[in-house]
Structure 1
């Protein structure tokens, strides 16, 4: 993992290449897959993917120096399934799969920890049974505070208070075996995912930058350049070639995009298969785009 100074140096190195210098040497980018999510932990790799390949992703890590963790985030960078698949397909990065937590080794370790914790639990129960008796002895026969032997302060402690100072849990941040798990990247695995990847790949090949368009009721936001420097020009919604769209859905989505100063685009996808081929590997997706424009003047004049 690269610290903040490493990220700044990487940004300066990449920015310098925009003035006509030669392209920077691509770093060895490793994508770590955890629970079917793709993460990049190196700052220089994140800058390189964004500046050279227009892959934005989302920062999901916390920054210790910021009090409001929802305003700015740091490493790792989470790539969308489409971005991670494009990286592997184009040879820009390699994937390392983390080991599954529900393995036999983990279960054996959990059983061992549970077995060692049983004596501590039984000791806590015994201490809890002694507390009522010790409390009665301290009261005496007159209901006052004297008359009996004084209990030691340790006898009045709760069980969890006695073991706080003696309990220690070791949680390592990184292990030598991280990244050596066996796995396979399954995206895209169905028709819907193939349609999404086909649209993403086609728009990326047209030199656009893409981010999630969930907040505008679409699948993607399309930028002519880096999202920091440019405003999104299009909101793209993916539909199957045979799908039926209700006019109210089209009108609502089109007006929403118009209110945000964007153009609403419908990406219609259909699979094209070679008749001479016998396997599914030859199936390709054809994408066609339709731009919808809100007739605001007409709707305003009619009062709806």
Structure 2
């Protein structure tokens, strides 16, 4: 079961949804859920093109995965983290475990690097001489590993919050539109850079260009569609070699999609 760490505000809305485990990130990619990697090295902020975990998901992606039984949620509410960190026993246990893991990692690295150094000297026919400078160089080459998972966030799923969250979003127009596209096998990503709510790929974005730009969902019965909006949306989408898709939600909470393509005149 995939694990998603979600934060829920006082109003029940999801404020963030992130995945820390690399294996879960790989599995999400196979399900057509790409997200955005947002982790970086805090002391090397200029290297922000080399982003790593956690993977940030759209709210729609997280809710769809949980509702379809593909993922399990770990819920963090405002203040929860501070309360946990304020737990003296938990803080002491986490500190002990972290210190022990760090010490074992440094011991393993030191042993490995000494063995490699001895092999190099042996190949060169040089007898090993322990020098203070060599020890300092070895210590400076050791690294600290940042875990991909969080100990503090390892908690049991809050089923009541998750049920309320799914109930809230099950009638949300954005989610209904996303779910309809996703259930048809498309890969869906944010579409603001193309003037829409979503952009839609027929498969993995690393293999395919996006095919459709999906508009903000409207009320299927009551909202008026201006001809100017149809013209602007279809011309813009056609200019970037995509199809513009109108989305609307009816009174039965069903999403409807209509594709529009600019054909030109003459």
Q: TM-score range by the shorter chain?
A: 0.5 to 0.7
Q: Deviations over 1:129-180 (max 9, x none)?
A: xxxxxxxxxxxxxxxxxxxxxxxxxxxxxxxxxxxxxxxxxxxx95556535
CA distance in structure 2 between the aligned counterparts of 1:195 and 1:70, rounded to whole angstroms: 34
CA distance in 1, matches of 2:28, 2:73: 15
Shift of residue 63 of structure 1? 4.9
Name the TM-score, length of structure 1 as normaliser: 0.56
Matched, 1:213 2:191: yes
Q: Normalising by the residue count of structure 2, what TM-score does the alignment of the two structures yield? A: 0.63
Higher relative contact order (CA 8 A, sep 6+): 2
- The structure with the largest alpha-carbon Rg is 1
1:104 Cα offset (Å): 9.0
1:85 equivalent to 2:58? Answer no
Structure 2 unpaired stretches of 5+: 9-13, 88-148
Q: Does 1:44 align with 2:12?
A: no
Deviations 1:67-101 (A, max 9, x none): 64443422111111111111111211111112532
**3-state SS of 1:184 partner:** helix
| Superposition map of 1:189-200 within 5 A | 189=168, 194-200=172-178
1 CA distance for matches of 2:242 and 2:153? 47
CA RMSD of aligned residues (A): 3.1
C-alpha distance in 2, partners of 1:73/1:197? 27
- Structure 1's consecutive aligned runs of 4 or more residues displaced over 4 angstroms after TM superposition are 63-70, 102-106, 173-178, 180-183
* Structure 1: distance between partners of 2:186 and 2:153: 38
1:227 and 2:200 matched: no
Q: Which runs of 5+ in 1 are unaligned?
A: 1-27, 110-172, 273-284, 299-304
Give the Å deviation of 1:230.
0.2
1:256–1:94 distance in 2 versus 1, CA, 3 Å: same
